[in-house]
Structure 1
Amino acid sequence: MATLCRPAVSVPEHVITMEQTLELARSVHKDHPQLQLALRLIRNTGVQKRHILQPIEETLRHPGLDARNATYEAAAKERVPAVIREALASAELGPEDIDVIIYVSCTGFMMPSLTAWLINTMGFRTDARQVPIAQLGCAAGGAAINRAHDFCTAYPGSNALIVACEFCSLCYQPTDLSVGNLLSNGLFGDGVAAAVVRGEGGTGVQLERNGSYLVPNTEDWIAYDVRSTGFHFKLDKRVPGTMEPLAPALKELAGQHGWSADALDFYIIHAGGPRILDDLSKYLGVPPEAFRFSRATLTEYGNIASAVVLDALRRMFDEGGTAPAARGLMAGFGPGITAEMVLGRWTTSHSPGSPAASAAPVTAGGVGATRPAFVSRRK
């Protein structure tokens, strides 16, 4: 069974607090007719501070899409290798042991993907698969875990590396005065994360079943309006209410696995905002404390897009993990409106042939049928 090991997470050194954010909104948009509404929405995010790539003076400037994208590429190359090395060390693997690199990001663009640069500079094998995912937004953290799970199920014994790189501050649009955009200015932060999914062995969450769900006819609720100035974030006012239609999908996935979604031991959830967590607590019937790791990420880092799920999981590791065989749910939510969901159990390090490693085969993709074994190309 594939095991998601301890994630490594890094945030930039520049910090902006909630009070600084509110004061900036008051000074920069003092004549905005809906300023008071925007201020109230920003306060309600529960974000106490965020980390940003550049000093606030630089963040507020817009030197052009080309300059911003160059900053994205340079920062990714500077900051991603360190979190990868930490994630590999936690999984007790080296670059040569990785069979697929899954890179997720929605805040900059590179072609070839950063995966090619990583292979050329960090010692990964030249036959490692590359899976860049650029258009799933915040849901991509969950999608990366699920694609790693799928790969390790299809190719037993293989190992996957997940990398999430999000510099949301590079998407700041000083002339976009929509309320949704003003809210995003006080919600999103920057962060880089990496984690390894081991095909065999490892301490962490042993992945057992995954699934996806798209809420029909909501594709324009979270979106980018791509203009000459770059990515303009669009956020529909109905987004905070999406847990009502998504909670049944989480319950159904758990039910397919013989579990009850309201009786699990841990929950690692993408925290897009406090109402997401409050409503999920209500509709799943679990106490608010169940989402403490996700809420801590939101409070201390803001919404760091695809990296949220990995950071929330990292916090559970740093608390000492949980009981052996404890059952849990992880989920990322994003544009679509899309949910990427996975079920798993906590496992401690074991070698092939141990009771944990020799458990019955699992089903993948939430379809109730065991996938056929494929021969891994890993040498």
Structure 2
Amino acid sequence: MNHTAALVSLATSVPPHQFHQKQILEAAWAVLGRYEQFETLSSLFSNTGIRNRYGVKPIEWYLEPRGWPERTEAFLQGGESLFIDVARKAIAGADLDASEIDTVVTVCSTGIATPTLEARVAGKMGFRSDVSRVPVFGLGCAGGVSGLSIAARLAQSRPGTNVLMVALELCTLAVRHDELTKANIVAASLFGDGAAAIVLRAGDGGATQVEATGEKLWPDTLDIMGWSVDPEGFGVIFQRTIPDFVRDNMGPAVAEIVARMKLPIGEIDRFICHPGGSKVITALERALSLGQGTLDHERDVIADYGNMSAPTVLFVLERARARGLPPRSLLTALGPGFTASCVALRHAA
């Protein structure tokens, strides 16, 4: 019997408030315009390749300073609603009932909740009382791929059980009024809210299977990306130029990971990448020796939704699946650590 974890269904969801990039630039002027370099840096908003983004609150909410209590209340309300919506879609897509879910993996780095989101929504969802809960915090933009890797290993360890993985991020709630920094302006130009959910099961085949997984953690890179924490909330850390790091390091890292998977890199038919932004996408194409414009789904997703952190790569996967996956794909994402995470997918037409 094949005990490889298979993707049974995949769903995505965004919160109700849509923002055009021009609206966000106007709001950023109101909040951050007093920063002396803002006018120069404001060109970032038109260079990201982003047209639209989504948020859990109306845009007026972000124009007022917010502390931890208000941010947390918004995270709980918005996060619970978005979790229920995307999880129900994925469960229905798998032709299951919520009571048939055996394990829930929740990936999130943009809010803190104890009990965690899957416990808070368990009653409304209809999860069984013996459902296994695996909340994962701190993976950031790598969370979609690393979360899929974790969920696949859990499914493989108990063939026949149904594993639900939800990657959910509410990045907009971290907007800061007090941090007049380039990093904060970069974050304001890029990030949006969204969620993706996957149901996996091992033991009964499936068209798309998780063939292998792997990661690489670079030493002495804690300053590349992450959160600082203070009384007001999370503060974004961007201390290095990520596109340059991607261009110089991602190619060898992927080659190393794929070699450990014992897969010939030449047999990867499609790279499905987390699109951090337009410059990161271009850097990925160079690092992976791809023709310019190859990462088309990545550009489309970033245009329509912005960078939603962890779930973004799964939005890309959704589009790739809709167009028809080739025999072998490699999902890749980079996140705090600094870490590269990869999942190889094998697809039978």
For Structure 1 versus Structure 2, the TM-score category normalised by the shorter chain is over 0.9
CA gap of 1:157–1:184, structure 2 versus 1, over 3 A, is same
Q: Which residue of 1 aligns with 2:67?
A: 64
Q: Is the 2:14–2:82 contact (alpha carbons within 8 Å) kept by the matching residues of 1?
A: no
How many residues matched? 345
CA shift for structure 1 position 277 = 1.8
CA shift for structure 1 position 262 = 5.0
Matched, 1:208 2:182: no
Superposed, which structure 2 residues align to 1:19-168 within 5 Å?
Answer: 19-168=22-171
Q: Which amino acid aligns with 1:301?
A: Y
- Unaligned residue ranges in structure 2 (runs of 5+): none
CA gap of 1:126–1:347, structure 2 versus 1, over 3 A, is farther
1:32 and 1:71 mapped to 2: Cα distance?
27
CA gap of 1:254–1:132, structure 2 versus 1, over 3 A, is same
Q: Which amino acid aligns with 1:299?
A: A
TM-score w.r.t. the length of structure 1 is: 0.85
For each residue in 1:138-174, what CA deviation from the matched residue of structure 2 results, as whole angstroms up to 9, or x when unmatched? 1111111000111122222222111122111111111
SS in 2 for 1:290: coil
Matched, 1:251 2:259: no
Q: Is the 1:215–1:246 contact (alpha carbons within 8 Å) kept by the matching residues of 2?
A: no
CA shift for structure 1 position 206 = 0.7
Q: Is the 1:274–1:295 contact (alpha carbons within 8 Å) kept by the matching residues of 2?
A: yes
CA shift for structure 1 position 263 = 4.7
CA gap of 1:239–1:92, structure 2 versus 1, over 3 A, is same
Matched, 1:190 2:193: yes
Q: Which residue of 1 aligns with 2:295?
A: 291
TM-score w.r.t. the length of structure 2 is: 0.92
Q: Is the 1:6–1:317 contact (alpha carbons within 8 Å) kept by the matching residues of 2?
A: no
Matched, 1:311 2:311: no
Q: Is the 2:9–2:200 contact (alpha carbons within 8 Å) kept by the matching residues of 1?
A: no
1:13 and 1:96 mapped to 2: Cα distance?
27
Q: Which amino acid aligns with 1:295?
A: R
Superposed, which structure 2 residues align to 1:214-225 within 5 Å?
Answer: 214-225=217-228
Matched, 1:328 2:332: no
Matched, 1:279 2:258: no
For each residue in 1:230-278, what CA deviation from the matched residue of structure 2 results, as whole angstroms up to 9, or x when unmatched? 0011112322222222321211222334434355222221111122221
Q: Is the 1:65–1:229 contact (alpha carbons within 8 Å) kept by the matching residues of 2?
A: yes
Computed over aligned residues only, the root mean square deviation of the Cα atoms, in angstroms, reads 1.9
Q: Is the 1:6–1:313 contact (alpha carbons within 8 Å) kept by the matching residues of 2?
A: no
| Percent identity between the two aligned chains | 32
1:32 and 1:122 mapped to 2: Cα distance?
45
SS in 1 for 2:276: coil
2:328 and 2:239 mapped to 1: Cα distance?
34
CA shift for structure 1 position 127 = 2.2
CA shift for structure 1 position 82 = 2.0
Q: Which amino acid aligns with 1:281?
A: E
Structure 2 residue aligned with 1:266, among 260, 267, 270?
A: 270
Q: Is the 2:160–2:204 contact (alpha carbons within 8 Å) kept by the matching residues of 1?
A: no
Q: Is the 1:102–1:162 contact (alpha carbons within 8 Å) kept by the matching residues of 2?
A: yes
CA gap of 1:159–1:287, structure 2 versus 1, over 3 A, is farther
Q: Is the 1:271–1:308 contact (alpha carbons within 8 Å) kept by the matching residues of 2?
A: yes
SS in 1 for 2:213: strand
For each residue in 1:3-29, what CA deviation from the matched residue of structure 2 results, as whole angstroms up to 9, or x when unmatched? 123421111222222222333334443
Q: Is the 2:31–2:63 contact (alpha carbons within 8 Å) kept by the matching residues of 1?
A: no
CA shift for structure 1 position 209 = 0.5
- Unaligned residue ranges in structure 1 (runs of 5+): 349-379
1:262 and 1:308 mapped to 2: Cα distance?
25
SS in 2 for 1:75: helix
Which 4+ stretches in 1 moved above 4 angstroms? Answer: 201-204
1:261 and 1:289 mapped to 2: Cα distance?
20
Q: Is the 2:56–2:74 contact (alpha carbons within 8 Å) kept by the matching residues of 1?
A: no
